[in-house]
Chains A and B, each alone.
Chain A
Amino acid sequence: MIPISYYLVLSGMLFALGIVAFFVKKDLITMFMSIEILLNSANLAFIAFSKNYLSVHGQIIVFFIITLAAAEASLGLAIILLIFRQRRTIKSEEISLMKG
């Protein structure tokens, strides 16, 4: 059987790649997608520990995280559409009103 630690290393790699994607990308939609990658790597770690301790509670937490991701996606995309309606752009470096 595959050791649980392999899954944990994969989860860490996905988290690091998600953070890299968040800082490399320039448009708001893809930056938002990388947040979904971060949530998924956390889900993978939860399910791996749930298998490690032979307990089902980690999977329940993953239910709640998936629900939260759906709510967050709807609200975040609404905010992105609102920004696009007002500024006609979704590039993160052109939305620099607060930079001073």
Chain B
Amino acid sequence: MSYFIFFLLSLMAIGGVLGMIISKNQAHNALFLVFSFASLGGLYALLDAPFIAVIQIIIYAGAIIVLFLFVIMIINLKKGIPPERKRWIPYLAIFLGVIFFVQIAYPLVSSLFFFKQPSGRVESSPSNLGFILFSKYLYPFEITSLLIITALIGAIILLKRRGSK
């Protein structure tokens, strides 16, 4: 049963990415990406990380992709993307992608199937995650807040129209 769920979710994830590659419409691309990220959230739940799964769906599908959709609506290209002149570039990219995957997979083949799933469970309750986040990872957490402040101020300064009061 869990094999069935795993293959269904992974087919959905890969199918979403393939649909994003094939489709020409940018808004459809964003919706395919929501599909793919939601199924990845299901895979995280299969791997004993239910809180990360919820975070994935809320932040990726709910915040980041909605931000993308807003920008797509603002830009609103009426003509659409015209067909590109160099037709051979996609085929070259697919060929190089297959070579890249083989390069990742080939050195790992001898050791890859060494990883069985252990029988225990990960202590991934939100209280335990929060305890570790605020004790051992306290400094990275604070530095992350600095990162968010920097991104906020940077986005505001970049998009401010100069000359307007």
Chain A residues within 8 Å of B, Cβ to Cβ: 1-10, 12-21, 23-27, 29-30, 32-34, 36-37, 40, 43-44, 47-48, 50-52, 54-57, 59-60, 62-64, 66-75, 77-82, 84, 90-91, 93
Sample of 24 A–B contacts (CB below 8 Å): A2-B46, A3-B115, A4-B116, A8-B115, A12-B105, A15-B104, A17-B97, A21-B17, A36-B64, A47-B44, A51-B49, A56-B122, A56-B123, A59-B49, A59-B124, A59-B129, A66-B59, A70-B63, A70-B64, A74-B67, A74-B152, A77-B68, A78-B155, A81-B75
Query: In the complex, what residue of chain A is closest to B2 when comparing beta carbons?
Result: A2
Interface size class on chain B is 35 or more
Per DSSP, chain A at the interface is helix
Chain B residues within 8 Å of A, Cβ to Cβ: 2-3, 6, 10, 13-14, 17-18, 20-21, 26, 29-30, 33, 36-37, 40, 43-44, 46-49, 51-52, 55-56, 59-60, 63-64, 67-68, 71-72, 74-75, 77, 81, 84, 89-90, 93-94, 96-98, 100-101, 104-105, 108, 112-124, 128-129, 132-133, 137, 140, 144, 147-148, 150-152, 154-155, 158-159
